[in-house]
A and B are shown apart, each in its own frame.
Chain A
Amino acid sequence: MASGAPMISVKNLWKVFGANADKVVGSPLVDLSRSELRAQTGNTIAVRDVSFDVAPGEVFVVMGLSGSGKSTLVRCMTRLVEPTQGSMTFEGEDILKVDNARLRELRKTRFSMVFQHFGLLPHRNVIDNIAYSLEINGVNKADRHKRANEVIELVGLQGYSHAYPEQLSGGMQQRVGLARALAVDPQVLFLDEPFSALDPLIRRDMQQEVIRLHRELGKTMVFITHDLSEAVKVGDRIAIMRDGAIVQIGTPEDLVANPVDEYVANFVRDIAKSHVLTLKHLARKAEPGEATDGPELASNTIIREAAQVILQSHKPVRVSENGSALGIVSSEDVLRLISGGA
């Protein structure tokens, strides 16, 4: 994660659906349960006092089950849904306060969005779908087709420029969605459950694709998903949402190693710990009789990546952090973790 000023800073964001929504925020009503509130006032709190920062170049994942408010949250950030209260600062500018013209300007040039159901224009072929945002930016036809062809190549859609969306598989359609989002070279990419509608094999390919694009282009991403393994795969940090509020924000390792409550613990239970945790988590003092002259590995190595070295070594591996020794990790420690123990 990059250091310095955040690119996006969301502060105390609320979204309440229903009439007189602004009267709900800040009143004792917010402590009612969902069904009680709906029965009393007809309102629903979709996003509840959410705050977080996203650093430049970071992939920030918002993860939650359906109805947790994650899709509403991402729409509030670009005001596709108008938030009830709070602020969302992008490069020092409060997006929730800008006028419509400025908002369109930001959407045209800075933000892009990828949708769960693709949102492609059925009456346009691939290249004109991708060129749409350039078209409304006033780019002439030759230039926008040139740029569209560049991104077509970037996402691997060569040869499909003149196909129509309905002729493509779901995975291909979402590639068009990605290409369209990248066409204007935005600073932030919002992805709303981009792969939830795809079958598992295609989904895995597309996750790899996003990781590759992120590596190549370094775009800041806000990625919404209901699938924790996807979150762990693509995310630098993950925010877990429940009933509109953020329960915990942290790196995948934080969440797996130190879940704040039962809810998060339940979520991360199925995650293979060796894929997420680093050697730091396993390092322990050498017991009497154990060799302390095995090979040395850095403490931030993911256990899965270190496993081969550790298992092949006859002696426990020494773990070091910035030159100082943290302890040792033996083959048994790794096997115990992989088989589901501590």
Chain B
Amino acid sequence: MKVRKSYLLLGSVTIWILLGRLLHGKNTLQIDTYENTSFTSFVGQKALDLRGNRTESPAFIYFFNPIRGVIDGFVQGIRNIIAVPAPNSLIPIIGWLGVVGIIAFVVFATSQWRTMLLSISLLLACGALGMWQFTMDSIAMTLAAVLLSLAIGIPLGIWAGLSDRVLKILTPFLDLAQILPTLVYMAPIALVFMIGAASATIATMIYSIPIAIRITSHAIRNLNQSPIEAAESMGSTQKQTLSKVQIPMAKQMIVLGINQTVMAAVSFVVVAALIGAPGLGKPVIDALIIRNVGQGFVAGFAVVFLAILMDRSTSAAA
């Protein structure tokens, strides 16, 4: 076997050299660069068709557009409370001091007064940097994306924690969502949902949901089985075991998952400014475009403050 293989290798090198001599400069089989491939033009044409069909195709009328409407409305609702003073809304206009008060109240309710003081000073610092409006928009975006991510991610995570089959089905999608570079899926999403808060929220969700699902399912899977067996031996139904034993036991780990989901969302919301997310991403990207290092730096500071605020307030709850 070994001898034959070495002959084969030697033979192929010989043929290679001979063919190289004979065909030098002829039939070079040049391949197109991506701009010129038929696949690129095919996809490009499809994308154009899609954009043209936005008002006619049933997929848009009955599926994508309603989703966009609901998410836009959701984000706008949160922005109306904390970011944009809406003139004729039912909710009273609370102003920046009111927002600081609400956030301080929520943080104090879920953790200690020290975290509350930290939150207040971080918020005021963002204000002092002149980033108040952007910071509020980012918080609204993050909140919307996180709430939707958790509403989908935690139930799916619990399900994947209980069922091997569900985990097996979900895993490739989670892998895909985490491996795709974010810049790759932003354009198709913007194509379908248009530039704006809805696209930004969905892109953020794609980035943060896998974390919620993975940590929740891990939390459910790695519980001490002994109390679960005991609950079963006492005649608990599956639902009772889940709600009275498994979820309470997994709670701490799930809260950690929430914290990680929030952090992913905060970081992504900045990038999502590329497809129209309101918030701190805007001054960052503007600064990049006009090469204004100072403005980028200030916005960067505000992002860091926001991240610390979000992390401390959610991890203290754990």
Please give the residue numbers on chain A whose beta carbons come within 8 Å of chain B beta carbons, in ascending order.
78, 80, 103-109, 111-113, 115, 117-123, 132-133, 135-137, 180, 184
Contacts and interface: CB of A to CB of B under 8 A. Distances in A.
Interface residues of B, number: 18
Contact of A80 (B229, B245, B249, B251): B229
Given A121-B231, A121-B248, A136-B236, 12 more contacts: A108-B234, A108-B235, A115-B230, A119-B226, A120-B227, A121-B249, A132-B234, A133-B235, A135-B244, A136-B240, A136-B244, A184-B234
Contacts of A122: 224, 227, 249
A132 B231 contact: yes
Contact of A107 (B226, B235, B249, B251): B235
Contacts of B235: 103-109, 133, 136-137
B233 interface: yes
Most chain B CB inside 10 Å of its own CB: which residue of A105, A108, A136, A180: A136
Interface string B194-236: 0000000000000000000000000000001011011111111
A107 to B, nearest CB: 4
Contacts of A80: 229, 232-233
Nearest to A105: B235
A325 B252 CA distance: 71
A123 B251 contact: yes
Given A133-B235, A136-B240, A113 B249 contact: no
Contacts of A103: 235
Interface string B233-271: 111110010001100110100000000000000000000
B237 A119 contact: no
A107 B245 contact: no
Contacts of B240: 136
Contact of B234 (A112, A117, A118, A123): A112
B249 A119 contact: no
Contacts of A111: 233
A65 B302 CA distance: 65
Given A115-B226, A118-B226, A122-B227, A107 B233 contact: yes
A135 B233 CA distance: 14
Nearest to A133: B234
Q: Which 9 A-B pairs have the closest CB atoms?
A: A119-B230, A108-B235, A107-B235, A104-B235, A133-B234, A119-B226, A113-B233, A123-B248, A117-B226
A192 B153 CA distance: 38
Contacts of B224: 117, 122
Nearest to A135: B244
A54 to B, nearest CB: 18
A137 B237 CA distance: 11
A103 B244 CA distance: 20
B239 to A, nearest CB: 10
B226 A121 contact: no
29 contacts: A78-B233, A80-B229, A80-B232, A104-B237, A106-B235, A107-B235, A108-B234, A108-B235, A109-B235, A112-B233, A113-B234, A115-B226, A115-B229, A115-B230, A117-B226, A118-B226, A118-B230, A119-B226, A119-B227, A121-B227, A121-B230, A122-B224, A122-B227, A122-B249, A123-B249, A132-B244, A136-B235, A136-B236, A180-B234
Contacts of A123: 248-249, 251
Contacts of B229: 80, 115, 119
Contacts of B245: 121
Contacts of A108: 234-235
A103 to B, nearest CB: 8
Contacts of A132: 231, 234, 244
Most chain B CB inside 10 Å of its own CB: which residue of A111, A118, A133: A133
Interface in B134-179: none
A123 B246 CA distance: 10
Interface string B53-94: 000000000000000000000000000000000000000000
A71 to B, nearest CB: 11
B229 to A, nearest CB: 6
B222 to A, nearest CB: 14
B151 to A, nearest CB: 24
Contacts of A120: 227, 230
A141 to B, nearest CB: 14
Contacts of B236: 104, 136
B234 A107 contact: yes
A132 B227 CA distance: 11
Contacts of B244: 121, 132, 135-136
Nearest to A120: B227
A121 B234 CA distance: 13
Contacts of A135: 244
B110 to A, nearest CB: 18
A119 B241 CA distance: 13
A106 B240 CA distance: 17
Nearest to B228: A119
Nearest to A165: B227
A119 B229 CA distance: 7
A123 B231 CA distance: 13
Nearest to A111: B233
A78 B245 CA distance: 20
Contacts of B249: 121-123
A120 B226 CA distance: 8
Nearest to A137: B235
Contacts of A113: 230, 233-234
Contacts of B248: 121, 123
A116 to B, nearest CB: 8
A30 B249 CA distance: 41
A169 to B, nearest CB: 17
A109 B237 CA distance: 14
Contacts of A136: 234-237, 240, 244
Contacts of A118: 226, 230
A242 to B, nearest CB: 25
A137 to B, nearest CB: 8
